[in-house]
Amino acid sequence: MDGWTAAWLLWGVMFLAIELPAVFNKTDGDTLSEHIRAWFALRGKPKGWQVRRLALAGFFAWFIVHLFTTWG
């Protein structure tokens, strides 16, 4: 296992250490999904909601292409 693989595995473990307690408690606004909904204005229509949603859609479009495309 190289250093990059170890680092990504550690990142995944840290993510789970944060996300799992947030999922299983009853507090609103603590999971990553809830933060993404707030950051990108996926509930309601606050100021700048179109730009934020477009940014998220653009990221997802790029990410799908990135995952399924070989760059060399």
Question: What are the residues whose beta carbons fall under 8 Å from the beta carbon of 9, sequence distance 6 or more?
Answer: none
In a domain, 49, yes or no: yes
In a domain, 65, yes or no: yes
In a domain, 19, yes or no: no
pLDDT digits (tens, 9 = 90+) for 63-72: 999 999 977 5
How many structural domains does the chain have? 1
In a domain, 46, yes or no: yes
In a domain, 10, yes or no: no
Q: What is the C-alpha to C-alpha distance for residues 31 and 35, in angstroms, rounded to an integer?
A: 6
pLDDT digits (tens, 9 = 90+) for 1-43: 999 999 999 999 999 999 999 999 989 999 999 999 999 999 9
Question: What are the residues whose beta carbons fall under 8 Å from the beta carbon of 6, sequence distance 6 or more?
Answer: none
**Range of the structural domain that residue 46 is part of:** 40-72
